[in-house]
Amino acid sequence: MTRGLIGRKLGMTRLFGVDGSSTPVTVIEAGPNAVLQIKTPANDGYSAAQLGFDYQKKPNKPTLGHSAKAGFPDRGFKMVKEFPLDDESLAPGALVTLTLFTPGEKISVQGVSKGKGFAGVMKRHGFGGGRATHGCLTPRSGGSIGSAADPSRVFPGKKMAGHTGAALVTVKNLLIVDVRPEYKVILVKGAVPGPNGGLVLLKKDPKTASLAAKKVV
């Protein structure tokens, strides 16, 4: 089985316990993922499964050909990703479902964060800003950015204003509160990067997976 799935963030809600406690959860539509290709150590040097999720409305010919070769004609996938493969039971044309995950398990969720456009140093990096009194005309600027005569330049990586957000973010150790295969959704505790409707990757923790395998043995 693979060590992950591709899903879509639907939004956040809360679950109430019998004691009245409230747990914030993110609802993620995950699966079924189509297996498009199997990478083997003999042919590719590593073992992995290439999964596809979310059909395209107007796929191009290379995408259609790749999908048709795996047994999905007339279908293109918006996102195609590879996940490590624990065994060779899967084959192209199969479907990977939510049975991969169980409630109580901890996973990592990876997605592209919300884009916030061009932002100053206070919003982007949390700078404190300049004085608000005594004649300060630029209270939200970054102040001095470099030296004068020596070294007479600004060092690379200086925290300055610029584009904020729209970056690949991974949140680790998110607890799976519930798995509902009848609705094709999984509920994880806490927030998940990205906007509602954004595609995310659900990844099993390799350490947790290895410990679970040892317990089964």
- Cα–Cα distance for residue pair 10/29, rounded to 1 Å: 7
pLDDT score for 216: 36
| Contact (Cβ atoms closer than 8 angstroms) between residue 23 and residue 15 | yes
H-only helix segments in the chain: 41-44, 61-69, 121-125, 206-216
pTM: 0.84
Half-sphere exposure of 65 (CA within 13 A, CB side): 3
Q: How many CB atoms lie within 10 A of CB 27?
A: 20
Rounded-to-5 percentages of helix, strand, coil across the chain: 15, 40, 45
Q: Which of 43, 46, 38 is nearest to 69 (CA)?
A: 38
pLDDT score for 104: 93
CATH of 4-118+172-208, one of 2.40.30.10, 3.40.50.800, 3.40.309.10, 2.40.50.140: 2.40.30.10
Average pLDDT of adjacent 10-residue blocks, the chain of 217 residues? 93 94 95 91 92 90 92 89 86 91 94 96 94 89 86 92 96 95 95 96 75 41
Q: Where are the domains of the chain?
A: 4-118+172-208, 119-164
